[in-house]
C-alpha cells in the first residue's frame, strides 16, 4: 500500500510538471503567432535549427495542447484514481511513442524521401514569402546565419522570390564571403553556387552530434515508457 501511495504521488508530481510545461508551450506558441518578430529577436539565436523549418507558432500551440492535455489526464487520473483517465493517458502516450518511433525510422531509412516531401512544402513557401513576409524572412535569416547555409536545398530556392525580384540578388547568407561581413557586395549566382543547403547542413550537424541526439531521444523514450508502465500499474491496482 505504501508503494502504491508513493508511485501515485510521483505520478501526480510528474504530470503536474508536464501540465505546466504544456501550458508554457501553449503560451509561447500564442506569443510567436501574434508577435513572432519579438520572439525571434529575443530567442532566435538560441532556438533549435530544426524548429525553423516549420511554422514555429502553430507547432508550439499544437505541441502545447497535446502536452497540456496529457499532463492533465495523468495528474487527474492519479489524483482521483480514475481508471478512464489513466487508460486514456496510456493510449495517448502509446500513440505518441509509436509516432516518434515511426518518424525516427522514416528519418533514418527514408531520408531522401523525407527531403523530397519537405522540398515540395518548403521551397514554394520560400519562393512565395521570402522578402515579403517579415516573420518568415526573419526565421530563414536566423536559420541560414546559425547553420551557415543557403535556402532549403540551395540558392536556387530564392529564384523568383520577392527578395530576388526586388534586389536581383540572393540573400547575403548564401555567399561565403558575406556570412561574416556586412554584406556590401551583391550575392550573385557565382558566389552562392558552393553554399550548402540548410537541410543537408542540418543532417550533417545531427550526424556529427549523433551521440547527443540519440541520448536525448533515448531519454525521452525511456520517460514515456516509464509513464506508461506506472499508469498501467495504478490502473491495475485500483479497486
Cell of 95: 500513440
Contact residues for 158 (Cβ-Cβ < 8 A; gap 6+): 126, 127, 130, 151, 164, 170, 171, 174
pTM above 0.75, yes or no: no
Report the C-alpha gap between 235 and 84 in whole angstroms: 9
Q: What value does the CA radius of gyration of the chain take, rounded to a whole number of Å?
A: 22
CA 196/CA 20 separation, integer angstroms: 39
Residues 34, 136, 217, 235, Cα dihedral to 10°? 30
As given in the structure block, the three cell numbers for residue 53 are: 523549418
CA distances from 175 to 6, 29, 49 (A): 59, 33, 19
Per-residue pLDDT of the chain (239 residues; tens, 9 = 90+): 668 788 888 888 888 888 888 888 888 878 777 766 665 555 554 444 444 544 566 777 888 888 898 889 888 888 888 889 889 999 998 998 898 888 777 767 766 776 777 778 888 989 999 998 887 888 888 888 888 889 888 999 999 899 999 988 899 888 865 444 445 578 888 888 888 888 888 877 777 776 776 787 788 888 888 888 888 888 888 76
Amino acid at each position: 500500500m505504501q508503494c502504491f501511495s508513493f508511485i501515485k504521488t510521483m505520478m501526480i508530481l510528474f504530470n503536474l510538471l508536464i501540465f505546466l510545461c504544456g501550458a508554457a508551450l501553449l503560451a509561447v506558441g500564442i506569443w510567436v503567432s501574434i508577435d513572432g518578430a519579438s520572439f525571434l529577436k529575443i530567442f532566435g539565436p538560441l532556438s533549435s535549427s530544426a524548429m525553423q523549418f516549420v511554422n514555429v507558432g502553430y507547432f508550439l500551440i499544437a505541441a502545447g495542447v497535446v502536452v497540456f492535455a496529457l499532463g492533465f489526464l495523468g495528474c487527474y487520473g492519479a489524483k482521483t484514481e480514475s481508471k478512464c483517465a489513466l487508460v486514456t493517458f496510456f493510449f495517448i502516450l502509446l500513440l505518441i511513442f509509436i509516432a516518434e518511433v515511426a518518424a525516427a525510422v522514416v528519418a533514418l531509412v527514408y531520408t531522401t524521401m523525407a527531403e523530397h516531401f519537405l522540398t515540395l512544402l518548403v521551397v514554394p513557401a520560400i519562393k512565395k514569402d521570402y522578402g515579403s513576409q517579415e516573420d518568415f524572412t526573419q526565421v530563414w535569416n536566423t536559420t541560414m546565419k546559425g547553420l551557415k547555409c543557403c535556402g532549403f536545398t540551395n540558392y536556387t530556392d530564392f529564384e523568383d522570390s520577392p527578395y530576388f525580384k526586388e534586389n536581383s540578388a540572393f540573400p547575403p547568407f548564401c555567399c561565403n564571403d558575406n556570412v561574416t561581413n556586412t554584406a556590401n557586395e551583391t550575392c550573385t549566382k557565382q558566389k552562392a553556387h558552393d553554399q550548402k543547403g540548410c537541410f543537408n547542413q542540418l543532417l550533417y550537424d545531427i550526424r556529427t552530434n549523433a551521440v547527443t541526439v540519440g541520448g536525448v531521444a533515448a531519454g525521452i523514450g525511456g520517460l514515456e515508457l516509464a509513464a506508461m508502465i506506472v499508469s498501467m500499474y495504478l490502473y491495475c491496482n485500483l479497486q
